[in-house]
Amino acid sequence: MQGTSRPQSAFIYEFLDADRRVLDCGHLHCICETEDCACWPKTTRDALPYPQGAAFLVVYEDEKMLYEEPIPDPPKVIGGKTQSGKDGITISWKDSADAKAYLVHYRDAKGRAWRALAPRTTDTSAVIPWTLIARSRKLTVRVLASSGIATGHAEIELAAGDKPPPDVHLTLLGNGSLSEGPYEIPAVPTVLATDGAGGQVSDVHLQWVDGRGGSLGRGRQVDLRQLPNGRHVIRVVVRGHGGRTAGKSWVVERNRDRFTLHAAVRDPPRRPRGPVHEHPHPAPPPSKE
């Protein structure tokens, strides 16, 4: 990788265009630990830039050319069918004769980055879990086909439809387990809030309240020193994350500067919303006045 701290070898790569003009070049790097790259045989592992218009990859040792490979046109990826199922939406694409393997990425709107859905595969279909799609309501999926160096891709847009947003999981972090009984917690405990796709919920969506609904603060941490001595119910509520409101409560006790967690209170399970009720009675007749 350009700019890496690993030892620089005597091997140099070049990307050439169709007229054999150099587009990019640089040293390859060993994976050994010696400063002068004295290992043999050489094993290199580099992430190289791929310049537009590259037609050849050439490797030199000093001035001697050791390897040359023509870079073909990228394989074409032709999107096919999408089918909804219990676990998610299955996408499929036509097999390309030039492709040696495929990769499936999805666009993480929160991180504004492409993330891998699964390891490279030779299959021509993949299941996109509902937890990913329902989280952002719409999801862009990219299928990449590689012939070795050249890579082509196609994008597919998926929509959650009437699928509800994924549940948010809330865990109060500590050094004990309620299955073994109450245990001491810090004066400022932290809640871990994650959605169904494994992403952490931002602090702006978290609000703490006491048993009477009074505000205790915002964010993943809550200061229990504002509570009087005795037992209290504290509750964290998640709002505005994927369109769903979620919450969880705990029973804590303050005894001067010591705080103890006694129990976790789970919300009742959500019931699916039924059909909209239509009033059976006809409209009243118009007034004669």
Question: Residues 6 or more apart from 180 whose CB is under 8 A from it?
Answer: none
Q: Are residues 155 and 178 in the same domain?
A: no
Q: Are residues 39 and 89 in the same domain?
A: no
Q: Cβ atoms within 10 A of the Cβ of 201, count?
A: 22
- Reported in sequence order, the residue ranges of the chain that DSSP labels E, i.e. its strands, are 8-16, 22-29, 56-61, 64-70, 79-84, 88-93, 101-108, 113-116, 125-129, 138-146, 151-159, 169-172, 183-185, 191-194, 206-210, 215-218, 230-241, 244-255, 258-265
Percentage above 70 pLDDT, the chain: 86
pTM: 0.58
Question: Residue 13's domain spans which residues?
Answer: 8-70
Q: Are residues 194 and 249 in the same domain?
A: yes
150 vs 17, which has greater pLDDT? 17
37 inside domain: yes
123 inside domain: yes
Mean pLDDT of 66-79: 88
Instruction: Report helix, strand or coil for 26.
Output: strand
50 inside domain: yes
**Residue where a domain stops, chosen among 159, 179, 195:** 159
pLDDT, tens digit (0-9, with 9 covering 90-100), for 224-247: 999 999 999 999 999 877 666 889
pLDDT, tens digit (0-9, with 9 covering 90-100), for 155-200: 888 887 777 767 788 999 887 888 889 999 999 999 999 876 677 8
Q: Which of 140, 150, 21, 143 is nearest to 92 (CA)?
A: 143
Residue 44's H or E segment, with its range, is none
- Residue 276 has a pLDDT of 61
Q: Are residues 190 and 233 in the same domain?
A: yes
> Is the pLDDT assigned to residue 3 strictly greater than 60?
no
Provide the mean pLDDT of the chain: 85
**Domain holding 149: CATH number?**
2.60.40.10
At residue 1 the predicted structure's pLDDT band, cuts being 50, 70 and 90, is very low
Q: Are residues 148 and 175 in the same domain?
A: no
CA distances from 97 to 76, 122, 158 (A): 9, 11, 26
282 inside domain: no
pLDDT, tens digit (0-9, with 9 covering 90-100), for 252-286: 999 999 999 999 987 776 665 666 666 666 767 77
Q: Are residues 204 and 117 in the same domain?
A: no
Between the ranges 45-49, 112-116, 258-262, where is the mean pLDDT highest?
A: 258-262
Task: Look up residue 187 and give its amino acid.
Answer: A
Q: Are residues 58 and 99 in the same domain?
A: no
Number of domains in the chain: 3
CA 51 – CA 15 distance, rounded (Å): 8
Percentage above 90 pLDDT, the chain: 35
Q: Are residues 38 and 57 in the same domain?
A: yes
Least confident range of 26-30, 101-105, 197-201, 217-221: 197-201
**Residue where a domain stops, chosen among 122, 140, 159:** 159
